[in-house]
Amino acid sequence: MRRLPFHILFSCIFLPPVLYILTLQALEGITQKKWASELRGSLISDSRALLQGRMRIEDEIQQNVETFIASCRALRWGFRAKIVVKTETGRRLYPSDTLYTFDTEMLPQERPISRPMEMLHVAEKNLTIMDEGIEFFLTVQIPRNAWLSNGILIFYIVMFTFVLYRAYVSSARAARQVEIDNRQALEAVNERLMAAQQRLENVSGKETGYQDEIEMLKTDLDLASNKVREAEDEALSEMEQLEERLQESVGLKEELEMEVLRLTEELECIQSMQRRPHKKRRKKIYSAAKRFKTLYKKLEIQQRAIEGFLDLELDLQLRAEELIHTMNDDSAGLPVKRKLFSKKGASPTFECEFGYKGRIYWRPGSGTKTQILAIGTKNSQVKDLVYLESK
């Protein structure tokens, strides 16, 4: 299933506006600090003309501020600046509450003053203002709808969209790889299952053939016995012929009995080979026996019960182990379906159900332990009962 990690999706949604705001604030702060340093040194450039009275200090400040503003390219990129110059006593020398234009023809020029008294008055006023102290206030802003701020926002949106796309592609690629691996694993398991079913069918076919051959030999043995009895009835009349036929029949009988014994032994050998677990299954049986012995100290679980447990489906294994766990805690409270008695007069065996079709057979063991004899289903119930009769 293709899905994006939550932290990537959250970051791609949350970070663009946050970085956009932080970037604008950082640019405003850096620009304001830089412009304040530059403007502080150029606020009054011709103090000699001010002290001689040839120019008013207000005009000098306005000229220098307007010149500084005209030289700032950043204002053309979308920055806005507000500059207020005052004396320390609060007298405003340069009030500027509007945005600035950059027409150098509008800058104030030095105005000639012809009368000496007027120049003296201007010089005294300029000196008084300079003695009061001059301070300025600079505020730099980037409008949130300017092309610079919009460009920064678009840059972050495009960047995190690319990150989101790369994350989606990576997640989709990983999901496809997992799907391919699961399909390949399923195909491999199906192939092994079909091969095992084919081998089981072959062995079952051979077993059926041997059983048919045994039945035929038994029939031949019965016919031979009948012939022997018929020969005995005719013994009085044809003694010599009967002895010859009897010898032939006895020889044939012995030969057939030997063949029956040979085939019986061969069938038992095949059945024992079927019951003999291969190396991998022996390893599973050993591992399960070791685990049960470690977990359930009050139980004695026989090998046939472990083999039956491993033959169960996964959900039945879980239900069986749940019942085993309950049995280890208190076997007296188990719901017993029926009680079974063996022909050898041993202790009775109890049958309990799990998972509707599961069966577990147990009886009290040595001391306080409980002995689990077999675990199976309704399909294996006949074989399990035959096995329990021998216990």
Tens of pLDDT, residues 145-156: 777 777 888 898
Position 339, amino acid: K
Q: Measured between alpha carbons, how far is 357 from 380 in angstroms, rounded to an integer? A: 10
Tokens found for residue 252:
């044939």
Q: Measured between alpha carbons, how far is 96 from 80 in angstroms, rounded to an integer? A: 12
Report the mean per-residue pLDDT for the chain: 77
Tens of pLDDT, residues 310-355: 988 888 989 988 988 888 888 777 888 888 876 666 678 889 998 8
Judge whether residue 102 has pLDDT over 70.
Answer: no
pLDDT for the residue numbered 43:
72
DSSP secondary structure string, 3-51? ---HHHHHHHHHHHHHHHHHHHHHHHHHHHHHHHHHHHHHS---HHHHH
Judge whether residue 137 has pLDDT over 60.
Answer: yes
Tens of pLDDT, residues 288-302: 889 888 888 888 899
pLDDT for the residue numbered 104:
39
Write out the E strands in the chain. 80-87, 92-94, 134-141, 299-301, 338-340, 349-354, 358-364, 370-377
More confident residue, 56 or 260: 56
Lowest pLDDT segment from 75-84, 216-225, 248-257: 248-257
pLDDT for the residue numbered 375:
92
Judge whether residue 173 has pLDDT over 60.
Answer: yes
N residues, the chain? 391
Confidence of residue 374 (pLDDT cuts 50, 70, 90): very high
The closest alpha carbon to 36, from 134, 168, 152, 140, belongs to 140
Backbone angles phi, psi at 274, to 5 degrees: -65, -40
Q: What is the pTM of this model?
A: 0.37
pLDDT for the residue numbered 110:
44
Confidence of residue 218 (pLDDT cuts 50, 70, 90): confident
Confidence of residue 360 (pLDDT cuts 50, 70, 90): very high
Judge whether residue 223 has pLDDT over 60.
Answer: yes
